[in-house]
Structure 1
Amino acid sequence: MISLGFVTLYPNQELGLATELAKRAPEFGIELYRLTPTSIEPTSELVRGESYNHKTNKWEQSSFEIPMFLYDRCFYSNDEISKKSQPIMNWLKLRPATVFLGHGLPNKWEIYKTLRQDKELSPYVPSTEQALSSSAILRTLTKKQQLILKPEKGSMGKGIIGLFLHRNYVEVVYKDEKLLNKNQFTTRRELKTWLDSIISNQPYLLQPYLPLHNEENRPFDIRILLQKNGQGKWMEQGRGIRLGMPDHLISNLGGGGETRSYESWTENMSFHQKQLLSENIHTINNRLPELLEEQFEPLFEIGVDLGLTSEGAIWILDTNSKPGRKVLLETNPSKEDALYKTPLQYCLHLHSKQTT
């Protein structure tokens, strides 16, 4: 049996995904285990995790060796578990006996620099700079009037801030949990102090504010899921639309957003608009995975978020090497089985490469 470990920071994270994979794993000659980085005993290299009992359809406590293959679904933040887990995952990536389905991507600044230098993809990349000081942010705001601040290592829309310059004040828009906050600063000193408190906690990037809202002032984007198939070739699993809350900055589903099918969303477009959008997405899908693997580590899947302005300009907003499946499961239910089988098929592909 081939052993595949489903790795998360906390024991019950992404339980639904792990369970669906475990149910299908025997069909591919794979035994799926659940573990956290901190559940590995350093001296014996034994893991105290969980295995799936196919008779009871339940997870059970189990002790096992580090699996041959690992599916990394760890989402790091600044907490203690992340600080303990990251070095362990880095050690596993260097361990000769362990193969990861895919390695993670670096921070947003490194990705931006890579995409910006590529002649095919650079037209789709918003101008970005590092927010090195509050003074630099304010200088850019004076020129551009509207800006977005994004954490360099952010995910799931956390920490994104909008800055909007009005005649007598600057409006700051950000989300705290699920609530939308709007603050007004009438003096430069107050705003500078507030910005200093933000950028001193973590590095931020600065981008022009892009008009990516619909006629109801709801932010939206196109989420595309790219994965490698059982032959190790990149393919598009599907695409859907994420629609955010009115007046919010982004369309993150965790903040109360909704999904729409790509087909229903594009049905009111003209033939020319649809064709142009399709061609641009095709260019991005073809080049993006290839470029990221050329520059960084091998990958298994990528979530690509695209923005579309009312003038038809397309922007690459984010690339994520640990994407969710909610958009596709809600908008393309027929894809469910394929979504859960693909990681197992790719694991089998990696195993066959080792044995040939």
Structure 2
Amino acid sequence: MSYPSATMQSKWVKTKWLLTSPNMRKYIPQTLLFSRSSLSSMLLQYSTVYFKPTGGTGGFNIFRITKLENGYQIQHNSVKTRYATFDALYGQLLKRAKARSYLLQKGIKLAATNGRPFDIRVMVQKTNKGVWESTALFTKIGVPGKVATNYNQGGEVSYFRQTLSGAGFGKADIDRIEAELRRLGKSVGRLFDRHKQGFRELGLDVALDSSGRAWILEVNTRPQFYPLKHMGAKRMYRRIISYAKQYGRKK
């Protein structure tokens, strides 16, 4: 019998679940609910902070805040706006939030492949026996100058090993990172099961910094994988679909 996978939209709830695990904590960039005091605290610690809706998908409405020598800059897509004071910055973000809940997240400088920033999608799915498997790894390569790497933000989907090779990682490092991410995907699946029943699929968005350290940016409970068809990754797509059909998902 097939049944749909459980979902959880709130990025804040999912972040709190991840933080309950001592092993997982080192993978989570500092994340706080948006408020005046948390914005002030984050900008004292970090030169770049991301401002994202707790319930958004597809990379929409994500803003990058950068601390400048004489003020601050907000970037949305490729549009940049400067603010001279903290009060002006906070006022603008408050207006953008429109009473919706937003998060602030420490900015991770993404590793770049052939000059373009990328992050990694780790696709995790549950077998009919209830065991989590990391079924696919692929990369989302961003458009230079844009905030998000998402496919519907103009990003390009590509092969994991090819992308990391283009970023200057050698074979031994790529093998190590792949093994770590596959383990991480399964661990996140088991952790989410402890908080809510019914998950059958997860998509981890993972950033690598320039040293090769992995950071979980987000966990999607309804991950998209149709871009793999456009990439021509038929084997990877078929593998994901073969698991997805077991719980009633067709695309």
Query: Which residue of the partner structure matches residue 188 of structure 1?
Result: 86
Question: Is 1:263 aligned to 2:166, yes or no?
Answer: no
Match of 1:149 among 51, 75, 78: 51
1:231 and 1:346 in contact (8 A); partners too:
no
SS of residue in 1 equivalent to 2:112 = coil
Whether the 8 Å contact between 2:225 and 2:237 is mirrored in structure 1 is: no
Deviations 1:135-162 (A, max 9, x none): 5413431332221111111111111111
Q: How far has the Cα of 1:204 moved from its partner?
A: 1.0
- For residues 50-72 of structure 1, give each alpha carbon's deviation from its aligned partner in whole angstroms, at most 9, with x where no partner exists: xxxxxxxxxxxxxxxxxxx6xxx
How many pairs are equivalent?
Answer: 245
CA distance in 1, matches of 2:114, 2:75: 18
Give the AA of the match of 1:220.
F
What residue is the counterpart of 1:311 in the other structure?
211
Query: Which structure ranks higher in relative contact order (CA pairs < 8 Å, sequence separation ≥ 6)?
Result: 2
Per mean C-alpha deviation after superposition, the further-off stretch among 109-118 and 195-204 is 195-204
Q: CA deviation at 1:325?
A: 1.0
CA distance in 2, matches of 1:321, 1:290: 13
Partner of 1:72: none
Structure 2: how far apart are the matches of 1:142 and 1:270? 36
1:214 alignment partner in structure 2? 112
Which residue number in structure 2 is paired with residue 333 of structure 1? 234
Structure 2 residue 24 is matched with structure 1 residue 124: no
Q: Is the 8 A contact 2:7 2:199 kept in 1?
A: yes
Distance 1:344 1:273, change over 3 A: closer
- CA separation of 1:111/1:193 partners in 2, compared to 1, >3 Å: closer, same or farther? same
Whole-angstrom CA distance in 2 between matches of 1:192 and 1:305:
28
Map of 1:188-337 to 2, 5 A cutoff?
188-214=86-112, 218-267=116-165, 268-329=168-229, 330=231, 332-337=233-238
Given that 1:219 and 1:249 are in contact with CA atoms closer than 8 Å, whether structure 2 keeps it comes out as no
Cα 1:345–1:211 shift into 2, 3 Å: same
3-state secondary structure, aligned to 1:154: coil
SS in structure 2 opposite 1:220?
Answer: strand
Unaligned runs of 5+ residues in structure 1 are: 3-68, 70-99, 348-356
TM-score by length of 1: 0.63
Compute the displacement of 1:249 (Å): 2.0
The reply on whether 1:115 has 2:18 as its aligned counterpart is yes
Distance 2:208 2:139 in 1: 11
Largest Rg, 1 or 2: 1
Q: CA deviation at 1:255?
A: 0.8
Per-residue deviation at 1:101? 2.2
Question: Shift in Å at residue 288 of structure 1?
Answer: 0.7
Q: Percent identity over the alignment?
A: 22
Check conservation: 2:142, 2:148, Cα contact below 8 A.
Answer: yes
- Does the 8 Å CA contact 1:238/1:328 hold for their aligned counterparts? no
- 2:133 partner amino acid: M
Q: Does 1:166 align with 2:73?
A: no
Q: Is the 8 A contact 1:129 1:205 kept in 2?
A: yes
Alpha carbons of 1:281 and 1:339: their partners in 2 closer, same or farther (altered >3 Å)?
A: closer
CA distance in 1, matches of 2:179, 2:235: 25
